[in-house]
Chains A and B, each alone.
Chain A
Amino acid sequence: IQIYKVLFILLEWTCPGLPSPPRPICDLRVLNHFIQEARDAEVAMKSCRDGCGLTELVSVPQTTVNFDDWERKNATEQAQEVQTGLWLLHQALGLLQASMTDVDLNNHIDNSIRNLLSINAVLRSLNIQEYTPPTSAVGLEGTWKVSSVAEVLQVHVNFLRGKVRLLLVGAEACQQDVS
C-alpha cells in the first residue's frame, strides 16, 4: 500500500497537467500530530509571564461535544460547524501572533496556524464542501468570548480533539476506505 501511495504521488508530479482529486487522508495520526503540537503550545503558555496577554476579547468556537447531539446533526451541519470553528481559531491565533512578544510562544502560535491550514486541506481531501463563515463573527452561534491566551490555546486543543476529530472519523470518504 505504501508503494502505491508513493507511486501515486510520483505520478502526480510527472503528470501535472492532469489534476486529480486529492487522496482522502483518513489516518487520524495526522490529526494526532496537530493535537500534540497544540498541547505543546498550551504548555508553553503556562510558563509565559510577560508579553502573553490579550488586549481584547476574542471569539472562539465552542468545543462542547455531546455524542447524541452530534449524531443528530447531518454531515453538512457538522462540516460547517467544524469549518466555522477552524476559521474562528485562525482569527484568534492571528490576533495572538500580532500581540505576542514571547519568541517561544510565538513559534508555537505560528505552528498552530499552519496546522489549521493543513486541517483544511485534510477536509478538502475528504470531499467536504468548503465553507467560509461570514466575515463578522458577532452573533455566530456556537462561539465563546475569551480574554486570555491560555483560554484561546485551550479551546484550540479541545476543538481539534473533539469536533474536528469526530468529523474526520465520520467522514464518508474514510468510511469507504474501511469497507
Chain B
Amino acid sequence: MPVVSPHPDQWTYWESCFTLTRRTPPPSPPSASMLLAAEPENPKCFAEGRKAFTCFWEEDEERAGPVEQYSFTYAYQNENGSRCPLTVAPAAGGKKLFVCHLDRIQMFVQLDIQVHRESVMIHNRSLLVELVFLLDPPENVTVSSTGHQGQLNVSWVPPPLKYMDDSMIYEVMYAKEGDPAGQVEVARACSELILRGLQAATRYRVEVRVRLDGITYSGYWSAWSDPVWMETLPADLDPLIVSLTFIITFILFLLCLIVLLSHHRFFIKKVWPTIPVPDSKFQGLFTVYGGDLQEWLRQTSGGLWVTSALLYSEERPSPVEVLSELNLCRSLASPPLPPKACNASTQRDERELSNGSDSAQTDEWRATQQQHWLMERLRETRPGMGSSLLESQDTYVTLSTNNHSEEDHVDDTLEEALPLEMHVASRKTPLSEFHSDLGSGQQSSGSGRLSSQSSFEYPSQGWTPKGPGYTYMAVADSGVSMDYSPMSRVDDLGKVALYANEYKNEIPPHRRPFLTRQYHVHDDG
C-alpha cells in the first residue's frame, strides 16, 4: 500500500510490476461452464470489454418453456428500466441457455436485473458492471532464456482494455515436463515475469491467465493461455568446485613430484635398468678383439685368467675348489678341477691334523713331496707355464691338504671341511719364503692384503713343497677382497677373515698351523 504523508507533495511511489504469491493453481473450466461454477447467482453476467455485457441462465430442456415466456429487464440506479431481448443456446447435459446481450453499458453505477417467466420473477440480481469482467487469456505468450542458470523469461500481450492495464493481475503457471501439477507466480500490472529457481536442463510448460485486481475493476479469472514449452540452460560448473578441484589436483601433482624426486634413483633403476657391460670384466675383448673370445683368451696369457673386476665382485662368493689332492688325484690326467672324491679323504687328514703338531716336521716333508708332484703334473698340462708364476709379483693363495687315504669315502659336497692349508703370499714375496715361514709357524713376511690385480696362477715348478702330505695349489688370487692378517702367529691362521663361513672343525689355536675349512673367495669385481 502506498504511504501517504500529511503533505500531499511528499507522497512516495512504488514499482508498477511485482510478483505477489506462489501457490498451486486451481482447475480452470471453459468460460460458460466456468461461470456456471464460479458464480452462484443468476443470471450469470460478465463484461467482456468496455462495451459488451452478457447475462445468461441455464434451465433443463425438459422444464424450460419457449423463450417468449421469459423477459429480461434491467435498470441502472436512478434510471428507468429497459428490456433485453433473449436468445436461446443449447448446452451440455440436456440444458438450455437463455442469453441476454447488451452493447451499451454503464459502469460505476448499480445495475438491477430481473428475469420473469410469464410475469413470475425467477431471477433477480444487482451488480456493478466494472466488477464482473471476464477477460480473454493473454496472447503471444513467449518463454525465453535469460542467460542465467535456472531462469526463464515469460512475456505476453495483455488484453487490450483501455484504462485497465494497471488494474490487471496475472498468474503464470509453470510445470516440469511430466508433472501434472505445477507452481504459480503472480504478477501485477506488468507483461513479463522472470521465473527463478528452476532446475537446469529441464523442459517446462508455461501458461498465463489474467483477471482484474478488484480495486477499481474486478471480475473472474480468464482461461489459461495455450501452453508454451521451454528448456532451461544446462548446469554450469560451480566456480568454487572448479577452483577446489584445481587446487587439489595441483597438490596431488606436487606430492607425486616430491615422491618421484626423493626416490628418483629407484625409479630410474626400475625404468632404465643398468645393462651389465662385460667390457670391464674382459678388458679389450670388444674393443680390441671384436668380441672374439677365443682370440682374446689366446692373447691374454691363456688359461683361466680372470680379471680383477670379476674376482673382486662383491655380489656373490665364488667357491674355490681344490684342484687336486695328492693321493687320490694322482691318477688324474687332467688338471686342476678337484675331483670330489678327494674331499672325503680330507676328513681323515683333518683328524690327523688334530692329533697334534709334533709331527710338523714330518708333515712338512710330506707337503714338499706333494707339492713337487703337483708341479710336475701342472707342467704336463700346461707346458707353457714356467716359473713365471713364482716370479710374478702378484699375490696368490696356495691350498694344501693333509695326506689322505684312497679308501676314504668320497664326499661330493664341497662344503665339507677340508684340512687345507692356505698359504697367502703377498705381491712381492716369493712363495718359497712364505712357505718356509708357514711351516715353522713363524711370521710370514707380509701376507696380508691381496693384490687386486693378481690373477689365478698355477704354482710353478719353482715352488718348494712344504712337506710330505701336502698338495699345494698355488692360486694367485687376484680378486680376493678379504684382508688377511699377517701370519705373525699361528693362532691367527684360524682367525683369518677369509673364513667367512663357519669353522666346522675346531682346532686348538696352538695346534692349528693349518687351515681346515672351506672358504669362499669373495670377488671384488
Contact = CB atoms under 8 A, between A and B. Distances in A.
Contacts of A27: 2, 11, 13-14
What's the interface size class on A, roughly?
35 or more
B78 A144 contact: yes
A93 interface: no
B8 interface: yes
A65 B2 contact: no
Contact of B108 (A5, A65, A68): A65
B82 interface: no
Nearest to B49: A67
What's the interface size class on B, roughly?
20 to 34
B11, B51, B77, B128 pick with most chain A CB within 10 angstroms: B11
Given A2-B12, A121-B8, A67 B2 contact: no
A90 interface: no
Given A27-B14, A161-B216, A64 B1 contact: no
B166 interface: yes
A12 B135 CA distance: 45
Contacts of A12: 9
A2, A29, A122, A162 pick with most chain B CB within 10 angstroms: A29
Nearest to A6: B12
B76 A64 contact: yes
Contacts, number: 85
A67 B1 contact: no
B8 A25 contact: yes
Given A25-B11, A125-B9, A64 B2 contact: no
B14 A29 contact: yes
A33 B108 contact: no
A120 to B, nearest CB: 9
B108 A161 contact: yes
B261 interface: no
Interface of B: 1-2, 4, 8-14, 50-51, 76-78, 104-110, 128, 130, 162-163, 166, 215-216
22 contacts: A5-B12, A9-B9, A27-B13, A28-B166, A29-B14, A30-B2, A33-B2, A62-B78, A64-B77, A64-B109, A65-B108, A67-B107, A67-B162, A125-B8, A144-B78, A159-B108, A161-B108, A161-B216, A162-B108, A162-B130, A165-B163, A170-B163
